[in-house]
Amino acid sequence: MMKKLSIILFSIAGVAVATGCSDIRREPGLIYMPDMAYSRAYETYVVRDTNYFTMDSANPHGKIFYNARPVAGTIMRGEDLTFTLPKDKAGDSTYYVASKQIQNPLTNPGAADLKEGERLYLINCAICHGSKLDGNGPLYKGGQGPFPSAPKNLVSDPYTVNMPPGQMYYSITYGKNLMGPYGSQLDHHQRWMVINYIKSKQAANAPKPASTSNTEPANADAGANANTSSTTSAGTSATK
Amino acid sequence: MNHHSRLGKHIGSVVILFFLFIVGFKANAQNGQSLFAANCASCHQVNKRLVGPALAGVEERGPWTDRKALHAWIHNPAGFMKTDPYTQGLFKEYGGVMMTAFPGLSEKDIDAILDYIKSVPAATAPVPGAATATNPEASGDNTLLFGILTLILAIVSFVLLQVNSNLKRLADDKEGVGGTEPLPFWRNKAYIAFVAVILFLISGYFTVSGAIGLGRSQKYEPVQPIFYSHKVHAGTNQISCLYCHGNTEVGKQANIPSVNICMNCHMGINEYKGPDKLVDGDGKEHDGTAEIQKLYQYAGFEYGKLWDASKAQPIPWVRIHNLPDHVYFNHSQHVKVGKVQCQSCHGEIQNMNEVYQFADLSMGWCINCHRNTQVQFKDNGFYSIYEQYHEKIKNGTLDTTNITVEKIGGTECQKCHY
């Protein structure tokens, strides 16, 4: 009888050990009241019932078309409309060249603007271009990082120092070569703030005259109005 | 004296000349690499196709067997291409991207670069990462040990009790105190009561903890469509949380990055060679390069070709943190206004290979934090209106009988419609 009892007890212990061990929780579990937990309104990142909704506007098959995107042509409140150039088709560079003429609407940035520009730069750009703008961020690390392509040096390379703000804006918005587009991460105002920050750093770095190409002093504050004077750099005529 | 100084000058100039020579020689030897890094590395690698072709063996291809052609091309690619069908073909193959002209590079510089390219060894097959056997389950769980110990003790005490009663019966028999017929233990009321209390306690514990846990998903760790490691991205590679989850500052939701944000870097990075092992919660190791291939499938991207973003499909990431519909939570209010660190609620994300729900997201957890957290009034645009009213009321410029709800933001749409 004792034997029987101990067998029972040990098997109970065994079951307890077996069930208590699975540590990883792959299911979210149950909830009290589903009608209070799940929204009936369209919430972000909630899977829509494919029996009623479709993201295919061409073949709705009697379902409701909804893809959570704004209607084409929607303009955000407070949108800055100074830059309206579309993206170049592959192999074309018309708009890239045209973007040189676009003026920076944020002239004379204040200290707060530059600080915000720096913050945004450190979040979005510094991983490749480096927190010192030297083109050596943690993703490149002088060729040791995972990113295969050398990011541009933003303070001492004449190519970027002489690049007009409008063209920087184009590159940030649509990307260039292996740099991806940042139009979805930075809004228009933020992009200009980042450019102002970069230009201010370039201006601060300017006193040592940049090797050969340009003799104009790039000392205008924040370089906001240096764009028209210095379009004849090595790079502009060459790329594309 | 005079003679001496002249000799000294002589020796000095010889030494300087010698040094100049040495330095110049060394510089020449290193020149190629630094020139390559400064001028070419943005678009070319020696063994890997980037924006432009891989440069290994470039002098065995097309017109480049002639160095003069290479010089001419690098000095003026557009001019060279007009008369050269080989580069016209390349131009088409690489999506119509024209190489940047480098008129500033002398022929000597170019030769140095070419020498450097030759000196780079061919790409080797990736060595399977030197396995540093780490023991993921080092500390183990103490509760299990304690449970087993308790059980053993319970069994021992039970056995001892039985022995005790048997001995007592034997002793009684011997002494002839023919006691009452001993009851078997399952009819013994003391035993029954004891077991009943134990069962009640155990079932009560599980019922209560189950009821509290119902609707909460702490430690929820779903399997994601791509084994994306936050440890590699936010930890080792130091990518800011806000790089991918930028909307966190401006919206209710911390956005899940779209494919184009992944592709910002992964247009270039197509293989994983990092030091971290990609181990999931079950202890299974994943191949980073294969996971990047999964991303390419969603993106409709083929490495080495131009990416057409319109072919991308959204990645069906599994949402981990879910709040019931009757709870309103706004990320921007916490991250931007409250200046709360991501890790306060999400745990050490930068150390997680596979993300799990760190906090239980219960009401008590929210309330506790709200009880203890200081409001960040300083340099905070969100609260400037309070300060302004405070100042105005203090110096009497604001009529306190005339502050409506509207003045403190009561007619903002989002106060009611969120």
Find chain A residues with C-beta within 8 A of B325's C-beta.
36-40, 43
pLDDT > 60? residue A15? no
Note whether A30 contacts B242, CB cutoff 8 Å: no
pLDDT band at B10, cuts 50/70/90?
A: low
Q: Chain B partners of A147 at a C-beta cutoff of 8 Å? A: 265, 268-269
Identify the residue with better confidence: A223 or A144: A144
Residue B229: both structure tokens together: 């490691």
Taking residues B387-395, report their average pLDDT.
86
**Chain B partners within 8 Å of A238 (Cβ):** 77-78, 98-102
Chain A residues within an 8 Å CB radius of B252? 44
Average of per-residue pLDDT across A112-123? 93
CA distance B88 to A4: 88
**Residue in B with minimal Cα distance to A46:** B319
pLDDT at A93 over 90: no
A208 versus A115: the higher-pLDDT residue is A115
pLDDT of residue B283: 85
The one-letter amino acid at B130: A
In this complex, which of B143, B263, B269 lies closest to A147 when CB atoms are compared? B269
Over residues B82-110, the mean pLDDT reads: 79
Q: Does the CB of B45 have a partner CB in chain A at under 8 Å?
A: yes
Q: With left for phi above 0 and alpha for psi between -120 and 50, is residue A46 left, alpha or beta?
A: beta
Whether A9 maps to a domain, the answer reads no
Q: What is the pLDDT of residue B36?
A: 79
In a domain, A61, yes or no: no
Does residue B216 carry a pLDDT above 50? yes
What's the pLDDT score for residue B214?
86
CB contact under 8 A, B102 and A20: no
For the entire predicted model, the pTM comes to 0.71
- Which stretches of chain A are DSSP H helices? 2-21, 34-37, 94-98, 111-124, 126-129, 158-161, 165-174, 188-205, 234-238
Looking at residue B245, its pLDDT comes to 93
Residue among A77, A178, A188 with most chain B CBs within 10 A, to mutate: A178
pLDDT of residue B356: 93
Residue A133 within any structural domain of the chain: yes
Q: What percent of chain B has pLDDT above 70?
A: 87
Q: How far is the first Cα of chain B from the last one, in angstroms, to the nearest whole number?
A: 94
Residue of B nearest to A32 (CA): B215
Best to test chain A binding among B45, B90, B243 (most A CBs inside 10 Å): B243
pLDDT at B15: 55
Residue A95: HSE in the Cβ half-sphere, 13 Å Cα cutoff = 16
Q: Is B222's Cβ below 8 Å from some Cβ in A?
A: yes
Supply the pLDDT for residue B212: 87
Residue B131: per-residue pLDDT: 39
- Report CA torsion sign: B388, B394, B395, B399: positive
Domains in chain A, number: 1
Decide if B319 contacts A44 (C-beta within 8 A).
no
Give the pLDDT confidence score for residue A167 in this predicted structure.
Answer: 92
Inform me whether the C-beta atom of residue A73 falls under 8 Å from chain B C-beta atoms. no
CB B307 within 8 A of CB B162: no
Highest averaged pLDDT of the listed ranges A144-153, B43-52, B89-98: A144-153
Q: Is the pLDDT of residue B20 over 70?
A: no
What is the domain extent for residue A116? 94-238
Over residues B335-351, the pLDDT tens digits come to: 999 999 999 999 999 99
Residue A144 lies in a domain: yes
Shortest Cα–Cα distance, B392 to chain A (Å): 25
Q: Is B341 on the interface with A (CB under 8 A)?
A: no
Which is higher by pLDDT, B332 or B281? B332
- The per-residue pLDDT for A221 is 40
Task: Collect all residues of chain A within an 8 Å Cβ-Cβ radius of residue B265.
Answer: 128, 139, 146-147, 180
Give the range among A6-20, B161-175, B201-215 with minimum mean pLDDT.
Answer: A6-20
Cβ-nearest to B267 among A143, A150, A180: A180
CB atoms A237 and B101 under 8 Å: yes
pLDDT digits (tens, 9 = 90+) for B55-94: 878 887 878 878 888 888 888 887 888 788 888 888 777 7
Say yes or no: B258 contacts chain A, CB-CB below 8 A. yes
B245 vs B82: which has the higher pLDDT:
B245
* Nearest Cβ partner for B50 among A31, A90, A148: A148
A17 touches chain B (CB under 8 A): yes
pLDDT of residue A213: 44
Residue A26 has pLDDT above 60, yes or no: yes
Indicate yes or no: CB of A123 within 8 angstroms of CB of B326.
no
**pLDDT at residue B204, as a whole number:** 96
**Is residue A143 situated within a structural domain?**
yes
The pLDDT confidence band at residue B128, using thresholds 50, 70 and 90, is very low
In a domain, residue A73? The reply is no
| Length of chain A measured in residues | 240
Split at pLDDT 50, 70, 90, the class of A1 is low
Under the banding of pLDDT at 50, 70 and 90, the label for residue A226 is: very low
Answer yes or no: is pLDDT of A65 > 70.
Answer: yes
Per the prediction, chain B carries an average pLDDT of 81
Residue B27 confidence class, pLDDT cut points 50, 70, 90: low
Is residue B11 predicted with pLDDT exceeding 70? no
CA B120 to chain centre: 32
Q: How confident is the model at residue A87 (pLDDT cuts 50, 70, 90)?
A: confident
CATH classification at residue A169: 1.10.760.10
Confidence (pLDDT) at B135: 42
Could you tell me the pLDDT band of residue A17, with boundaries at 50, 70 and 90? low
In chain B, which residues have their Cβ closer than 8 Å to the Cβ of A23?
141, 281
ipTM of this complex > 0.95? no
The answer to whether position A12 is within a domain reads: no
A45 touches chain B (CB under 8 A): yes
The predicted model gives B325-338 an average pLDDT of 90
Q: What angle do CA B145, B146, B152 make, to 5 degrees?
A: 90
Task: pLDDT band for B368, please (50, 70, 90 cuts).
Answer: very high
- Positive or negative torsion for Cα A190, A191, A192, A193: positive
Instruction: Judge whether A122 lies within some domain.
Output: yes
Q: Tell me the nearest-neighbour CA distance from B337 into chain A, angstroms.
A: 15
**Which of A123, A127, A238 lies nearest to residue B100, judging by beta carbons?**
A238
Residue A134 near residue A153 (C-beta atoms within 8 A): yes
Residue A113: count of CB within 10 angstroms of its CB: 18
Question: What is the distance between the alpha carbons of residues B250 and B246, in angstroms, rounded to a whole number?
Answer: 8
Highest mean pLDDT out of B12-21, B98-107, B284-293: B284-293
Q: Is B157 on the interface with A (CB under 8 A)?
A: no
Residue-wise pLDDT for A166-220, tens only, equals 999 999 999 888 888 998 899 888 999 999 999 999 988 876 554 444 444 444 3
User: For all residues of chain A together, what is the average pLDDT?
Assistant: 78
Q: What is the model's pLDDT at position A191?
A: 92
B138-197 pLDDT per residue, tens: 445 678 889 899 999 999 998 998 898 888 888 888 887 665 666 777 778 888 999 999
Q: Which residue of A has its CA nearest to B44?
A: A149
- Per-residue confidence (pLDDT) for residue B352, from 0 to 100: 92
Lookup: tokens for B64: 């480049």
Please state which of the ranges B46-55, B221-230, B234-243, B382-391 shows the lowest mean pLDDT. Answer: B46-55
